Chain A
Amino acid sequence: KNQVEQSPQSLIILEGKNCTLQCNYTVSPFSNLRWYKQDTGRGPVSLTIMTFSENTKSNGRYTATLDADTKQSSLHITASQLSDSASYICVVSLSYNTDKLIFGTGTRLQVFP
């Protein structure tokens, strides 16, 4: 069964600290993996997209890594800010149907001053 699992479910950190969110997937055949940021009550916004041949991709203070062999990805947030408080969703795309995405349940991150 195609699944995306994220950990932890929730995370609390202090402003200025770094954190890493994890994503494991069992989706096959794999096309690409995306990380989205979703503020409460808003639509998700794309942070990074990686194909199987890309190991790392950065977007400002956000750095995503992908290990296609172990089917694991991580999202590292550097020098966290209060505005980083949001849910972070890992999403995997099937290669044979790019219209159907497999969504994780997200990690809820709270950054406190």
Chain B
Amino acid sequence: DGGITQSPKYLFRKEGQNVTLSCEQNLNHDAMYWYRQDPGQGLRLIYYSQIVNDFQKGDIAEGYSVSREKKESFPLTVTSAQKNPTAFYLCASSGRGIYYEQYFGPGTRLTVT
């Protein structure tokens, strides 16, 4: 997990409520990413940011929003428009080395009832 923190570990919300997941990194990485993981499926990219104050939609951005006001932080808001928000959410960051290796945080399990 080294250098990337996500909080909280578990999050419970009622349907219709927005919820924000925290992601912080101290690796001095420019790029940060949000993924969603569902049972039996590969990780899917929600949003990514290559630089402060800029971000791009991934493959499944609908119902999510992000901000990148600081290099270290990339919070994800799961809005009430997301139809199936219950999932395991992973944040990652990447330097600009030859492999552009992504380092993952410990994840947040969100349950919406």
* Chain B residues in 8 Å Cβ range of A93: 100
* Chain B residues in 8 Å Cβ range of A103: 42-44
- Inter-chain contact A4/B42, CB cutoff 8 Å: yes
- Inter-chain contact B42/A32, CB cutoff 8 Å: no
Chain A contact residues: helix, strand, loop or mixed: strand
- Inter-chain contact A101/B106, CB cutoff 8 Å: no
Interchain CA distance A44-B37 in the complex, whole Å:
11
Judge if B67 is at the interface, Cβ distance under 8 Å.
no
Interface residues of B (CB under 8 A from A): 1, 4, 31, 33, 40-45, 48, 50, 56, 58, 88, 90, 92, 94, 99-107, 109
Smallest Cβ-Cβ distance to A49: which chain B residue: B99
- Inter-chain contact A101/B102, CB cutoff 8 Å: yes
- Inter-chain contact A104/B42, CB cutoff 8 Å: yes
- Inter-chain contact A42/B45, CB cutoff 8 Å: no
Which of A49, A100, A105 has a CB less than 8 Å from the CB of B101? Answer: A49
* Chain B residues in 8 Å Cβ range of A106: 42
A-B contact pairs, 20 of them (CB 8 A): A4-B42, A32-B99, A34-B101, A36-B104, A41-B107, A42-B106, A43-B92, A44-B90, A45-B1, A46-B102, A46-B103, A49-B101, A93-B100, A99-B56, A100-B58, A101-B43, A101-B102, A103-B43, A105-B40, A106-B42
Smallest Cβ-Cβ distance to A36: which chain B residue: B104
Given A100-B58, A103-B43, check contact A43 B1 (CB 8 Å).
yes
Judge if A21 is at the interface, Cβ distance under 8 Å.
no
* Chain A residues in 8 Å Cβ range of B31: 99
* Chain A residues in 8 Å Cβ range of B41: 105
* Chain A residues in 8 Å Cβ range of B99: 32, 34, 49, 51
* Chain B residues in 8 Å Cβ range of A89: 42-43
Interchain CA distance A99-B100 in the complex, whole Å:
8
Smallest Cβ-Cβ distance to A93: which chain B residue: B100
Give the shortest distance, in Å, between A7 (CB) and chain B (any CB).
14
- Inter-chain contact A44/B109, CB cutoff 8 Å: no
Smallest Cβ-Cβ distance to B50: which chain A residue: A99
* Chain B residues in 8 Å Cβ range of A4: 42
